[in-house]
Chains A and B, each alone.
Chain A
Amino acid sequence: MQQAMLKSDFAIRRGAHRGPLRLVWAMGALVAALLLGGCAGTPMTDRLTQSPPDGLPAQIELTDTPFFPQTAYYCGPATMAALLEGTGLETTPEAIAGALFTPGRSGTLQSDVIAAARRNGRLAIRVDGMLDAFAEVADGRPILILQNLGLSIAPQWHYALLIGYDLDRKQAILRSGTTRRLVNDLSLLEYTWARGDFWGISVNRPEGPVPATATLTDWMGEAAGVERAGRHQSAATAYLTAARHWPTAAQPWLALGNLEFSAGDLAQSEAALRNAVQRAPDNDAALNNLAYVLLRRDQRDEAEATARRAIALDGPNRAEAEATLAEILGD
């Protein structure tokens, strides 16, 4: 079956230089956590079937979700290609496998799934557990989930798409492997997904709509990832989407101001940063960056006043603001 990925890297690295006694403690904590997990049963399934959240439809199936039957270990590329195609891109698992598949691991790492979305100008937004995932599916977003079809001690990692559910029948509907429509008991989904730490994402266009369960930080983090991947236009669109969705937030305007600055458009950068400062007058990063852009635009007096405001806040970027002021005064 599919060895989708190994999650233990982090754990191994953290434990690498510990003494044996600490290892015993860590093992004890791990066993305790496993036992707790074992006692837990399927609380999310119980919750969803017995007292579902208000407004969650009893059943839904996103039948339009594309499907690529996977070959060999290609469950990562197959599911990701389907999601990307669902957001309006033309692609195939083969076309994105080069960016996704790690031959040495016979699988696809979670970070590569997110990177593949970014490189295609899409935002991979994490869902937080089953309740959020079902809410997003009900809202029209298929969710890419990481399951462990084996046991914790003998994992068989697998990516599948959650495309629907039926709460009355206690069933989940998946696109999985070579099966276009796989019906699982909800409890089976919960067990296998819980062993994958409920890791799941939706793939979103930069134009939005923003997933209801996404926080500003979730969206902005991914939008910045899109920018890092070199998709500047998509990133700018994603920042503007955030600015519309969270009209009082300064962060989207700050990011947009930075992006315009790197693109060399100082007038646009200044306008965006003014929007940021207006929304968060106590954000020293916004003030510092506005001061710097004003300096570049030769508006020295306002640049100085703005830099001094940033310093007076004594916030996390005080040192940078002081350096900016020094440059304003020194030039």
Chain B
Amino acid sequence: MLQTQTKFFRRVALALAMAFTMASLPIVPASAGMIATDQIITQSQAAEARAVVDSFMARDEVKQELQALGVDPAEAESRVGTLSDAEAVDLAQKIQDLPAGQGAIGAIVGAAVLIFVVLLITDLLGFTSVFGFTNKGSANPS
């Protein structure tokens, strides 16, 4: 009796173990064939966005802003590399929307928006926590 039970539990355990193993295997989307045009465009969009973000991070006033926040610009730059494609595209959009304003008012607004974007980046990278909606580490990321 006891032996049959043990056998039964062993079988269940084995089945469970197999089920878990299968569930935890990465889902491999790869199949032989043509890579679709939409995917190619998305990939190059992401690459462009990363270039925009990188050149933004390389700007002197951004580095100053990061330093003022106590963030090592080099460390920030290397963390930017971990952004997802979607995050990079989002961020690049915000950077490109920065007003290139002339004159005193434009400069002030420009500085405020610059700080806004820098804070957004440092939030995304986990240096600061100003904007709730970035929240990278959440169990329910969006």
Residues in chain A within 8 A of chain B (CB atoms): 14-15, 17-19, 21-23, 25-26, 29, 32-33, 36, 39-41, 43, 46-47, 51, 128, 215, 217, 220-221, 224, 227-228, 251, 254-255, 258-259, 261, 285, 288-289, 292-293, 316-317, 319-320, 322-324, 326-327
Quick check: B133 and A22 within 8 Å, CB to CB? yes
Q: Which residue of B lies closest to A317 (CB)?
A: B35
- Write out, one digit per residue, whether chain B residues 7-45 have a CB within 8 A of any chain A CB (1) or not (0): 000000000000000000000111111111111110111
Closest 4 CB pairs of A and B: A22-B132, A319-B30, A327-B32, A25-B132
Quick check: A43 and B99 within 8 Å, CB to CB? yes
Query: Across the interface, which residues of A come within 8 angstroms of B140, CB to CB?
Result: 17
Query: Across the interface, which residues of A come within 8 angstroms of B32, CB to CB?
Result: 292, 320, 323-324, 326-327
Bound-complex Cα distance A237 to B35 (A):
21
Residues in chain B within 8 A of chain A (CB atoms): 28-41, 43-45, 48, 96, 99, 101-103, 105-106, 108-109, 112-113, 116, 130-133, 135, 140, 142
Quick check: B44 and A51 within 8 Å, CB to CB? no
With A251-B44, A259-B37 as known contacts, state yes or no: A40 contacts B29, CB within 8 Å.
no
Q: Which residue of B lies closest to A220 (CB)?
A: B41
A-B contact pairs, 22 of them (CB 8 A): A17-B140, A19-B132, A32-B116, A39-B108, A40-B105, A43-B106, A47-B102, A217-B44, A217-B45, A220-B41, A224-B38, A227-B37, A254-B37, A255-B37, A258-B34, A261-B34, A285-B39, A288-B34, A292-B33, A292-B34, A320-B35, A324-B32
With A14-B142, A26-B132, A128-B96 as known contacts, state yes or no: A43 contacts B33, CB within 8 Å.
no
Bound-complex Cα distance A259 to B130 (A):
46
Query: Across the interface, which residues of A come within 8 angstroms of B135, CB to CB?
Result: 22
